[in-house]
Structure 1
């Protein structure tokens, strides 16, 4: 990952080793995944994508947390429970519910999150309570030429004991499609 206030495309390409084609994949519209070791029953992954839109415009859309049902198809409800603009250090409180169909059953989860924003740069999601043993996520925006690199990292351990390999496979399978959906909705929101 590369983080800078305003980084040019040439600077970003130099930050990647020549054998690492991740930067070029990003510019071609691919979602680049980097799974990480986490724990025996959970998973962790980082996904990156390029958006041909200025960071400030991306920020406006991703901080409209009720729209996350459009970004991630499995999220069926996303609502702000508490937001105090006079005390931004306390963050927002957010409720999300999701439904995922598997071969023979449907898993339903819900989570209450504390959301902390670093203006137009980063959003951190921390679980207060929910259908997970633990959950945290971070979304970071970095300038890249006239566009933005969006990096989304998530770590999660479900309450149901499932081997981490299955959790990681589900993340690898679902996250690219979710990120592409997010890009499509964000780009459409800017052009409308």
Structure 2
């Protein structure tokens, strides 16, 4: 995690998986069902598609100190299957900034899944709490994608 000015944080997490990249891609682009395997994602709804661009509405929820918090974002995603990238940026939402990229690559028999996120909270958002939750959630979210990709690959 990198601390940037004005409460902005940049995070990156990478997994190495013994799966074909196509399984990871199929999971990440299953927009209507992301909330069924990504922890803390309460809903994910595709709003539109224009070629390789997709509009999504997502709501994330957190339990913290006995209270439930939620944040809503509308994202525009650019799919680049050839490069193995899904780039996203927030059009509207509960953050000042929320953008990043999923990258899928392959070296030999190993697939690399990289998730990068730059996030900046709204004024009054306790960035320390957000930072702690993001740190924990990123790894859990990638593991959720991994489990779903492994499940799909095992069923084929």
- Output the TM-score relative to the length of structure 2: 0.89
How far residue 67 of structure 1 moved from its aligned partner, in angstroms, is: 2.4
Q: Which residue of 1 aligns with 2:62?
A: 100
Q: CA deviation at 1:76?
A: 1.0
Displacement of 1:54: 1.1
In the alignment, the residues of structure 2 paired with residue 152 and residue 188 of structure 1 have an alpha-carbon distance, to the nearest angstrom, of: 20
**SS state at 1:72 partner:** coil
More off after superposition, 163-172 vs 39-48 = 163-172
Aligned to 2:38: 72
The answer on 1:49 being equivalent to 2:15 is yes
Q: Which residues of 2 match residues 110-189 of structure 1 at below 5 A?
A: 110-120=72-82, 121-189=84-152
- How far 1:168 moved relative to its partner? 2.4
Cα separation, 1, equivalents of 2:93 and 2:76: 12
**Aligned partners of 2:33, 2:110: CA distance in 1, in Å?**
21
For the residue of structure 2 that corresponds to 1:83, the secondary structure is strand
Kept after mapping to 1: 8 A contact 2:24/2:146: no
Could you tell me how far apart the structure 2 residues matched to 1:37 and 1:60 are? 32
Deviations 1:17-64 (A, max 9, x none): xxxxxxxxxxxxxxxxxx122233232210000121111222122111
Runs of 5+ unmatched residues, structure 2: none
Structure with the greater alpha carbon radius of gyration:
1
Name 1:5's counterpart in structure 2.
none
Q: Shift of the alpha carbon at 1:190?
A: 1.4
TM-score normalised to structure 1 length: 0.74
Compute the displacement of 1:160 (Å). Answer: 4.8
Q: Which has the higher strand share?
A: 2
